[in-house]
Amino acid sequence: MADTGLPPHWEVRHSNSKNLPYYFNALEKVSRWEPPAGTDTDKLKHYMAAHHSAGTRPGAAPGVPEGKIRAAHLLVKHRESRRPSSWREAEITRTKDEAMEIILAHEQKIQSGAVSLGELALTESDCSSARKRGDLGYFGKGDMQKEFEDAAFALKPGQMSGVVETASGLHLIERLE
């Protein structure tokens, strides 16, 4: 990597959610917003000017906030969910296995083309985003539970995930942008 002027094992990374550079030590696995002690600040300044132009990256879709995607999801909670309650049901007592059967049936219906994820989320999702057809808006890395983020960022726009499990319950995710 070009000479960043940082001490050994330190590298510059980019926070999509804050659209800011940060400094990461790959050996100690620590990160910080300010350059560490021992940094050659002139070299770092030249490196940043050459490699970290602020603002949008080339090829970013106009209007889409940098590093973010938009997705909708359908959530089926169960009695082990972090918050076993929703607008649909004050106390959710179904087991995880029962929730799995329900969400797999939803997945089949969506994959058959009989209904869209958003339409089904309106009545069936245990997330408060149900009223918006499951649309969660734009989000970046670090905003959502890790399993959800990994699955959503692996999708292409228009694609739907398989069943994804988080502490909230079982999800089907459709990437919108």
Ligand X SMILES: O=C(N[C@H](Cc1nc2ccccc2[nH]1)C(=O)O)c1cc2ccccc2s1
Residue 128 binding ligand X, by CB under 6 A: yes
Report in angstroms how near the CB of residue 124 gets to ligand X at its nearest. Answer: 14
> DSSP characters for 100-138?
HHHHHHHHHHHHHTSS-HHHHHHHH--SGGGGGTTEEEE
Q: Judged by CB, which is closer to ligand X: 12, or 144? A: 144
- Six-digit token string for 170: 């079982």
Q: Give the number of residues in contact with ligand X, rule: CB under 6 A.
A: 13
Distance of alpha carbon 132 from the chain centroid: 18
Question: What residues are annotated to the active site?
Answer: 73, 127, 145, 168, 171
Q: How far is CA 167 from CA 9, 61, 163, 164, 170, in A?
A: 34, 32, 13, 10, 8
Residue 75 binding ligand X, by CB under 6 A: yes
Q: Nearest 5°: phi and psi at 23?
A: -115, 130
Q: Judged by CB, which is closer to ligand X: 67, or 134? A: 134
Q: Find the binder of ligand X among 12, 127, 151, 172 (CB under 6 A).
A: 127
Report in angstroms how near the CB of residue 15 gets to ligand X at its nearest. Answer: 20
Segment 135-154, which members bind ligand X (CB under 6 A)? Answer: 136-137, 144-145, 148
Q: Find the binder of ligand X among 4, 16, 161, 168 (CB under 6 A).
A: 168
Torsion of CA 69, 13, 143, 76, to 10 degrees: 70
Angle between helices 96-112 and 117-124 (to 10 degrees): 150
Nearest to 157 by CA among 59, 57, 72: 72
Report in angstroms how near the CB of residue 31 gets to ligand X at its nearest. Answer: 23
Report in angstroms how near the CB of residue 102 gets to ligand X at its nearest. Answer: 16
Q: Judged by CB, which is closer to ligand X: 6, or 136? A: 136
Name 174's bridge partners.
Answer: 72, 160
Interacting residue ranges for ligand X, rule: CB under 6 A: 73, 75, 83, 127-129, 136-137, 144-145, 148, 166, 168
